[in-house]
Structure 1
Amino acid sequence: MFLNSGCGAVVLFSFVSFLLFLSHRVDSEPTQDKQALLAFISKTPHENRIQWNASDSACSWVGVECDANQSFVYSLRLPGVGLVGQIPPNTLGQLSQLRVLSLRANRLTGQIPSDFSNLKLLRSLYLQNNNLSGEFPSSLFELTRLTRLDLSTNNFTGPIPFSVNNLTHLTGLFLENNGFSGNLPSINPGGLVDFNVSNNHLNGSIPRTLSKFPASAFTGNIDICGEPLPPCNPFFPSPSPSPPVEPPEKPLHKKSKKLPTAAIIAISIGSALLLLLLLLILILCLRRKRGQSPKAAKPPTTARAAGEAGTSSSKDDVTGGSAEGERNKLVFFDGGVYSFDLEDLLRASAEVLGKGSVGTSYKAVLEEGTTVVVKRLKDVVVTKKEFEQQMEVLGKIKHENVVPLRAFYYSKDEKLLVYDYMPAGSLSALLHGSRGSGRTPLDWDNRMKVALSTARGLAHLHLSGKVVHGNIKSSNILLRQDTHDACVSDFGLNPLFSGSTSPNHRIAGYRAPEVLEARRVTFKSDVYSFGVLLLELLTGKAPNQASLGEEGIDLPRWVQSVVREEWTAEVFDVELMRYNNIEEEMVQLLQIAMACVATVPDQRPDMREVVRMIEEMNRAETDDGLRQSSDDPSKGSGGPTTPEARTSPRGVTP
């Protein structure tokens, strides 16, 4: 009896426990997710269509769906409910178990919060038809389980990053009706079946991985080409095809096969005159060849110039029918590594890299796989002989911190320069690219590498090449892959343009004061522009940036005004504030920069002195690759710091 009663008690206890367990399951609540949702809705203005009662379970709210156990929010769908303003941080980003998020067709603005990177399990994100802005949200690159991403019909700008390929499970990507710009990267998630980037500001060729999508996926961009759209234009017009040889018309009357006597006489006389003319031409050519002609010899042709400046592997002028001495060649310089010709360049696939003050740059991939940069110049005013002479000077410049000019082409309608392709890109792109979460900032050591290697390249141009750069700006400073050593490009082109259209008169923010008046660039004006470049490295601000406070103020004057008020720390880029023990070096480089941007040209140091001053900053760090002793004046000599380097920035008048 006792045993039976004991068993009954155990069964009763188990039954009650089971009921309590069921009751707990029914009444369970995703408490943390509920708090995140309440924070979101309280901070986001909205219409009355959302009625969330805090006393009810979040799983019963409109637009909210929980898992079967009601332990977390699985889906949040709030399309067209009148949400207004920015998505507040630390709200939706806390829904760590969320699979579906739809906020489409609202009036949301601003950038996507960086804490969206916490939504690791998210599979579908629908944000279309809002007013969201900023660059492509870098926080989304960490959502590697995403299958559908729709950012269409917003105000996003900047490039579409290659990092989209991190989203390996994507089946649909919709970016149409935004302001995305630049080249379209090669996006290739294996399962991508829906794709649209129409109505943006993209340019360049469509990557082969995306050519499978319909033309409607790419229309409405400013300068995009390639399959499935019409093919990209070549650098200059292809040679006109020879007119087809038409078969002779069949005679209408087979009877009259003999020519009239008058026609035979006319043909005979004409043939005799033609023979006499050819004989006279032959005699004149022989006399000219033997030096018996009384006329002066012609200047050397392009082919001769190629023999003096280098060697040409091009074929004859593909544009057809030129006079003697005017046959255009693709001229290579000695010591080059390329072996293609002009026709190979015509057949290359071209992708627009950018449009600058001197022309448009293309990335050209030749059929055998060689990649080069072709710069198509505009507004050139010099003669062919003057152009070739300047190219000969530039082609001889060789230095590890100068992008070598490999070849050039000159015709009446086209002037092309060929350079090495540097895949790491420009300082401008690295310094002023996306500053959202996930970005790797340019640290202090690498900024010092850029400053020193750029200074060495310019010093070599000035001292060894006797060439004024004339167009110094961050987009013309290219970086080597992985090392951040800088190479100077687009140098020495000012003599090709008239004073009013030369490159230095178009690059707002970098121009020395005297250039605006004299319309002429000098070594000292290069030093000024380099000083602005140093300020750009230190402040993180572009010289033509609108956020310098007073309208129309340039970067040197802005820096001087801040330093004058003893706010020196306010000058430096906030991304540099995370590094320790660099304040003294930053101030030293700031002093060098302010010496370079002195208003009076004679008060500026020359580039050899600038190299020496920057090397002096790193004298104690002999193994970091920043300083190399050399007898080459373009690399400095490690001498004592000049007085300009010791002067307080407040003591230099910019």
Structure 2
Amino acid sequence: MAHTLLSTLVFLVLIRVSSAELARDRAALQDFIAKTPHEGRLRWNSTVPTCQWTGVTCDANGSSVIALRLPGVGLIGVIPAGTLARLSSLRVLSLRANRLSGALPADFSSLVSLRHLYLQENLLSGEFPAVIPKLVGLTRLDLSGNGFSGQIPFAVNNLTRLTGLFLERNRFSGTLPNIAIQILNAFNVSYNHLNGSIPETLADFPASSFTGNIQLCGGPLQPCERPFFQSPSPAPTATGTRSFSSRKLSTAAIIVIATASAAVVSALLLMMIWCAMRRREEKGKPPKAPESVAARGVDPMGTASSSSKEMGSGVGEADRNRLVFVGEGGGYSFDLEDLLRASAEVLGKGSVGTSYKAVLEEGTTVVVKRLKDVAASRREFEGHVEALGRVAVHANVLPLRAYYYSKDEKLVVYDHLPAGCLAGVIHGTRGSGRTPLDWDGRLQVALAAGRGLSHLHNSAKIPHGNIKANNILLRDNPSSAVLSDFGLTPLFSSATPPPTRAAGYRAPEVIETRRATFKSDVYSYGVLLLELLTGRAPNQTTIGSEEGIDLPRWVQSVVREEWTAEVFDAELMRYPGVEEEMVQLLQIAMACVATMPESRPEIGEVVRMIEEIVSRSESTPPSDDQRLPEESA
């Protein structure tokens, strides 16, 4: 009897403790929502039990809140201190795709039970949150798509249970720390401002985990080496030694130097006398007929003559190893020496080579791509590149202007467009002060890229072969965007596996055949459309909570579950009245990424369908409330 009474008392005490804990959690949630501005999508009714509120999950006993998931509900401003940190049993916190800003509250360190923290696609800023390394129980951490800056701290290693770390699309700078978490299997720091070499502990992750950091090298990226375009600088004096000018010379050394100088001066005087005598003799001879430009295998525009041959043509190595302008040449008149003297900076490292912005001494700016792993012979290279240079001019295709071929270096030259590439705009830092690419802009870029691709397929009769957001270059008007780097894939060995960095765009059949076709271009273009719609890079390590899933399959899985709205970029959801157009473009994109090539539409048909969306959009006048919302509270 006494035992039964004791059990009953213990049970009643536990119920009271559980009720008290849930009451504290309810109060914490009410404080949070009262202090955080938000849109009307989130309604927590005070008459409804806490465990039934939207986004709230309680434990099996209904005694405490263990998960809070509020993605894309319109939360605005700073996360208030003294609110969420009071959820002592919280294991999962997801506030992704809102408009939260500022830094994380320091009292988050009290969330000792937290295992999953998802804060991606917000406006959070400041240095890497100092509170995070204290959350030693974390297994997944996603801070991507914010405005965090400064260095990634070595203290990340405190998170020994971490399996996924996602820091892409921020402003982190400096070198990567030596992160040695044994069970870490998903990692991404792409599109930051990191530099230096990738630590060996991270070298096994794919190139897509690091892309967009133009000064990062090693590991799956290109080896750390001196760039081809680098202004020479005097070598520093070795430590512990003195420069030549600061050393004292012995008497014997001075005598030797003086004697050698006298000998050199004498030799120069003799050479000048001999040259003067030769000029006098030449005056008495009849003039020699000048050698024609054509006879040397070079036409007046500086391009190789069609009659010259690779071997035995009489064209010397000095003539052949020069910068050759193709097509109209862009009106440029510089030569290889001018190019090599140019100041240059690395723009990016792509799947076929490294691109440099080169500023010549007279002020001309061009882009020089240093190709890597070229398998074509000189004859094949020159013939193919000159054919690319003859592609008819089109407003949405960036023409190739010149090339250089030698045994050790293969270069191609393009115009420089200062507005940058689509990848930088879509996946760049989403912090305050950034001007996002709105829906109309994305639609215009999609149409411009489609028209450029249609020109290559139908007029030039060549596949692009490397369509991706890095190769869509922008101008002030989105409708003037251009395709770059077209037609280069035949220069590389078909036996070489496709680059990991561009794998997210590759059609399934290209992974097998290593050969680009018109239909594989349509697949890559479809992935590009999905990228514009979702705001997600197709080659990121993970999408959502599924490991290793690519962008088309992720979109298919979400649409299949009738969660279509979850597909679209949170930035696009801020523009009213465009949902129907986004769904229409999504349908076009899904047709382009069909697994079987014969099921994909022709690019001309794709362009026509997008033009219909644009024409309907332009015929509907925007309402007064269709304006860009504020980026922050």
TM-score tier, shorter chain, comes to 0.5 to 0.7
Distance 1:472 1:299, change over 3 A: farther
1:424 maps to a residue whose letter is A
| Aligned match of 2:303 | 306
**1:407/1:419 contact within 8 Å kept:** yes
Deviates more, 1:410-419 or 1:564-573: 564-573
The aligned residue for residue 613 of structure 1 is: 609
Pick one of 516, 521, 530 that aligns with 1:526: 521
In structure 1, distance between residues paired with 2:296 and 2:519 = 35
C-alpha contact 1:114 1:437 (8 A) present in aligned 2: no
- Tell me what 1:372 maps to: 366
Residues 348 and 367 of structure 1 are in contact (CA less than 8 Å); yes or no, is this contact kept in structure 2? yes
Question: Is the contact between residue 234 and residue 350 of structure 1 (CA under 8 Å) also seen in structure 2?
Answer: no
Matched, 1:579 2:575: yes
Question: Which whole-Å deviations, capped at 9, do the CAs of 1:85-118 have from their partners, x for residues lacking one?
Answer: 999x999979xxxxxx999x9999998998989x
8 Å Cα contact 2:420-2:474 kept in structure 1: yes
Which consecutive residues of structure 2, in runs of 5 or more, have no partner in the other structure? 1-34, 37-77, 87-92, 135-141, 157-165, 179-188, 200-214, 219-224, 233-258, 264-290, 307-314, 621-633
2:445–2:478 Cα contact (<8 Å) kept: no
Question: Match of 2:389?
Answer: 395
1:354 aligns with 348
Report 1:521-560 matches (<5 A): 521-545=516-540, 546-560=542-556
Deviation at 1:618, TM superposition (A): 2.3
CA contact (8 A) 1:153 1:175 kept: no
For residue 335 of structure 2, what is the aligned residue in structure 1?
A: 341
Counterpart AA for 1:306: T
| Residues 1:486 and 2:481 are matched in the alignment | yes
Q: Which amino acid aligns with 1:508?
A: A
1-side partners of 2:119 and 2:352: how far apart?
A: 35
Equivalent pair of 2:397/2:483 in contact (CA under 8 Å): yes
Residue 574 (structure 1) shift: 2.1
- Larger-gyration structure (1/2): 1
Letter in 2 for 1:337: G
Change in Cα spacing, 1:303 to 1:580, as seen in structure 2 (3 Å) is same
Of 542-551 and 532-541, the range deviating more from structure 2: 542-551
Structure 2 Cα separation of the partners of residues 110 and 200 of structure 1: 28
Question: In 1, distance between residues paired with 2:100 and 2:599?
Answer: 56
Question: Once structures 1 and 2 are overlaid, which stretch shifts more, 298-307 or 475-484?
Answer: 298-307
CA distance in 2, matches of 1:491, 1:551: 32
Counterpart for residue 630 of structure 1: none
In the aligned structure 2, how far is the partner of 1:473 from the partner of 1:615? 21
- Shift of residue 367 of structure 1? 1.6
- Residue type at the aligned position of 1:423: P
Alignment of 1:642-653 (within 5 A): none
Tell me the equivalent position of 1:40.
81
Q: Give me the whole-angstrom Cα distance separating, in 2, the residues matched to 1:91 and 1:610.
A: 38
**Offset of residue 616 of structure 1:** 1.6
Q: Match for residue 427 of structure 2?
A: 432
C-alpha contact (below 8 Å) 1:44/1:86 kept by paired residues:
no
Shift of 1:418: 0.8
Q: Deviations over 1:257-295 (max 9, x none)?
A: xxxxxxxxxxxxxxxxxxxxxxxxxxxxxxxx9xxxxxx
Structure 2 partner of 1:418: 413
Deviation of 1:302 after TM superposition, in Å, equals 9.9
> In the TM superposition, what is the alpha-carbon distance from 1:454 to its structure 2 partner?
0.3
Structure 1 partner of 2:323 = 330
Distance (whole Å) between structure 2 residues aligned to residue 234 and residue 479 of structure 1: 26
Q: Find the aligned partners of 1:536 and 1:557 in 2 and give their Cα distance.
A: 13
Q: Is the 8 A contact 1:409 1:415 kept in 2?
A: yes
Cα deviation for residue 419 of structure 1 reads 0.9
Q: For residues 557-609 of structure 1, what are the alpha-carbon distances to aligned partners after superposition, in whole Å with 9 as ceiling and x for unaligned?
A: 22222222322222222222122221221121112112212222222221111
Is this contact kept in 1: 2:474–2:480, CA < 8 A? yes
> In 2, are the aligned partners of 1:528 and 1:596 still within 8 Å (CA)?
yes
CA distance in 1, matches of 2:400, 2:556: 37
Query: Residues of 1 paired with 2:300 and 2:335: CA distance?
Result: 14
Residue correspondences, number: 428
TM-score w.r.t. length of structure 2: 0.55
Whole-Å Cα distance in 2 between the matches of residues 113 and 567 of structure 1? 18
**Match for residue 469 of structure 2 among 471, 474, 486:** 474
Q: Displacement of 1:516 after TM fit?
A: 2.1
Q: TM-score of the superposition, structure 1-length normalised?
A: 0.54
Match of 1:496 in 2: 491
Superposition CA RMSD, Å? 5.3
Distance of 1:576 and 1:304 partners within structure 2? 49
Cα pair 1:534 1:590 within 8 Å, conserved: yes
Write out per-residue CA displacement over residues 14-45 of structure 1, whole angstroms, 9 at most, x where no aligned residue: xxxxxxxxxxxxxxxxxxxxx99997367659
Contact (CA 8 Å) 1:361, 1:375: kept in 2 or not?
A: yes
Q: Is the contact between residue 107 and residue 131 of structure 1 (CA under 8 Å) also seen in structure 2? A: no
**Deviation per CA, 1:456-484, whole angstroms, max 9, x where unpaired?**
01011111111111111111111113546
1:409 counterpart SS class: strand
Letter in 2 for 1:40: A
Q: What's the CA shift for 1:391?
A: 1.0
Cα deviation for residue 327 of structure 1 reads 2.6
Report the AA paired with residue 564 of structure 1.
R
Q: Would the alpha carbon gap of residues 611 and 598 (structure 1) be closer, same or farther in structure 2, given more than 3 Å must change?
A: same
